[in-house]
Homo-oligomer: A and B are copies of this chain.
Amino acid sequence: MSDPPDLKRESILSAAQTQFSRYGFRRTSMEDIAKETGVSRASLYSHFENKEEIFRTLSAQLQERSLEAAEARLKDEASTPDVSARVEAALLARLTPFLEVVAQSAHGSEIYDENSRLCGELVLASSERFLGMLTTAMAAAARSGEIDLKSAGLTAPAAAELIHLAATGLKQSADVATLEKRVRGFVRVFLAGLGA
């Protein structure tokens, strides 16, 4: 099921994340990453093609993890019987890592730009995947009668899109605590509006 994790690779990624967060992408040199890892610069090239690949790997890992966490929250009907609570948890799982990287680091906007440049398609694809999850969840909740899309005049994709776009706006929060409060408030009201 799970591949054997490459410890050295992981330690390099962890060191790189630390340095990127501290200095941004451009101002972090391979030397910095090597030193933080405790290894020579040359050996980094045994594990990654170059700095961009380290960054892309890190970004992909973050995306993947947040998507998996979000999906898990959406699917966990056993311990969270409420759609509203599942959507809330999924949005937080998806948004929190982003906020921690971008709003936490002094170089958040630079990192954000580099991410668009180096991983633009991945970001887009992840966004689509998340939208797909939400759509599935909305459709399922409509089928089970937990929400009523028809009387709202919406389809499942349209409802998912609204939640997704609204969440994009809510991302503009200064810290995780604020984000949590806002997401909770938003999801409760919005899903209540759908009859949840």
A10 shortest CB reach to chain B, Å: 34
Determine chain A's interface SS by DSSP, over half rule.
Answer: helix
Would you call B182 and A162 a contact (CB within 8 A)? yes
Question: Within the complex, which residue of B162, B186, B194 is in contact with A162, where a contact is CB–CB below 8 Å?
Answer: B186
Would you call A168 and B162 a contact (CB within 8 A)? no
Would you call A182 and B165 a contact (CB within 8 A)? yes
Known: A165-B170, A165-B172. A194 touches B186 (CB 8 A): no
Q: Is A118 an interface residue (CB 8 A)?
A: no
Question: Within the complex, which residue of B158, B169, B188 is in contact with A168, where a contact is CB–CB below 8 Å?
Answer: B169
Provide 28 A-B residue pairs closer than 8 Å at the C-beta atoms, listed in order of the A residue: A152-B185, A152-B188, A152-B189, A152-B192, A153-B188, A154-B185, A159-B185, A159-B189, A161-B182, A162-B170, A162-B182, A162-B185, A162-B186, A165-B166, A165-B169, A165-B170, A166-B166, A166-B169, A167-B169, A168-B169, A169-B169, A189-B190, A189-B193, A189-B194, A190-B193, A192-B192, A192-B194, A193-B194
Which A residues fall within an 8 A CB radius of B?
152-154, 158-159, 161-162, 165-170, 172, 182, 185-186, 188-194
Question: Within the complex, which residue of B153, B154, B172, B191 is in contact with A193, where a contact is CB–CB below 8 Å?
Answer: B191
- Chain B residues lying within 8 Å of A190, measured Cβ to Cβ, are 189-190, 193
A13 shortest CB reach to chain B, Å: 31
Docked Cα-Cα span, A189 to B150, in Å, equals: 12
- Chain B residues lying within 8 Å of A165, measured Cβ to Cβ, are 166, 169-170, 172, 182
Docked Cα-Cα span, A186 to B137, in Å, equals: 18
